[in-house]
Amino acid sequence: MSLAIRTETPADHLCVELLTREAFWNLYRPGCDEHYTTHLIRGHDDFLPDLTSVAEVDGQIVGSIVYTRSWVVNEAGERMETATFGPLCVHPAWQRRGVGSALIGHTRALLEKKGCPAILILGDPHNYCRHGFKTGRDVNVCTPDGRFPLGLLVLELRPGFFAGHRWVFHTSPVFEFDPAEAQAYDARFPPKEKRHQPSQDLFAMLIRAVVE
């Protein structure tokens, strides 16, 4: 497999949204809204287009990673800019073949060159611990309500950056939208069957799990 990683261009937008829809359909809920999230991000002030990338095999896009600005604030009121990726997706036919890892590794290197202190995401630890992500509890990073969700994951790009402080993680408001708007956007795409599957039950458990 000859895999190439490059920056996303406007010409990729529809292809990436179709790919995202295919990768997430029925995974976390019947249907999905991640392709709508991707659409919204591109028009938002927190979009990071220089980090948003696609993975290609023989000119075909098989994976995508989308970045937004995020930030952390400590108990002294100091705010530090961080980066957050998501959606990160790989076409089902190409999953478990290193595509997602390549996208993470490529963009991590870009962020290290920029001097970014950390990548923070909300995701499944099973997918990201092998890339060096730790639970927010281990580096004292919580959500605005003071909790440490299992899915709050942190990758320090400057080792020890979070030491000695308590930090609150803030994501871009782009992720807050009306589900009805997502359904209306999905109507532009070819029909797909919405159905229940066990991964949705697991997701419902994970998003309620908190690290003590």
**pLDDT single digits (tens) 59-86:** 999 999 999 999 999 999 999 999 999 9
CA-to-CA dists, residue 148 to 104, 116, 138, 144, 172, angstroms: 23, 22, 9, 10, 18
Q: Taking the domain 3-171+194-206, which CATH number applies? A: 3.40.630.30
Question: Given this model, what pLDDT does residue 196 score?
Answer: 98
pLDDT-derived band at 205, boundaries 50, 70, 90: very high
- 198 preceded by a cis bond (ω within 30 of 0): no
For the cut 90, the answer to whether the pLDDT of residue 140 exceeds it is yes
Give the mean pLDDT of the chain: 97
Question: Given this model, what pLDDT does residue 15 score?
Answer: 98
Show me where the domains of the chain are located: 3-171+194-206
Question: Given this model, what pLDDT does residue 191 score?
Answer: 97
Q: What is the rounded distance in angstroms from the CA atom of residue 5 to the CA atom of residue 16?
A: 14
Q: What is the rounded distance in angstroms from the CA atom of residue 65 to the CA atom of residue 47?
A: 12
pLDDT-derived band at 5, boundaries 50, 70, 90: very high
Helix (H, G, I), strand (E, B) or coil at 148: coil
Q: What is the rounded distance in angstroms from the CA atom of residue 102 to the CA atom of residue 100?
A: 5
pLDDT digits (tens, 9 = 90+) for 10-58: 999 999 999 999 999 999 999 999 999 999 999 999 999 999 999 999 9
By the 8 A CB rule, do 61 and 19 touch? yes
Question: Given this model, what pLDDT does residue 12 score?
Answer: 98
pLDDT digits (tens, 9 = 90+) for 84-111: 999 999 999 999 999 999 999 999 999 9
Q: What is the mean pLDDT of residues 114-125?
A: 97
For the cut 90, the answer to whether the pLDDT of residue 1 exceeds it is no
User: Can you say how many angstroms the Cα of residue 25 is from the centroid of all Cα atoms in its chain?
Assistant: 16
Q: What is the rounded distance in angstroms from the CA atom of residue 85 to the CA atom of residue 66?
A: 5
Q: What is the rounded distance in angstroms from the CA atom of residue 5 to the CA atom of residue 57?
A: 9
Q: How far apart are the first and last CA of the chain?
A: 42
Which residues, in sequence order, are CB contacts of 49 under 8 Å at separation 6+?
A: 7, 8, 42
Q: What is the rounded distance in angstroms from the CA atom of residue 19 to the CA atom of residue 103?
A: 15
Question: Given this model, what pLDDT does residue 47 score?
Answer: 98
Q: Nearest to residue 53, comparing CAs of 108, 94, 93?
A: 108
By the 8 A CB rule, do 6 and 24 touch? no
How many other CB atoms sit within 10 Å of the CB of residue 169?
22
Percentage with pLDDT > 90 across the chain? 99
Owner of token pair 């997701």? 203
By the 8 A CB rule, do 51 and 67 touch? yes
By the 8 A CB rule, do 192 and 27 touch? no
Token pair for 18: 């179709």
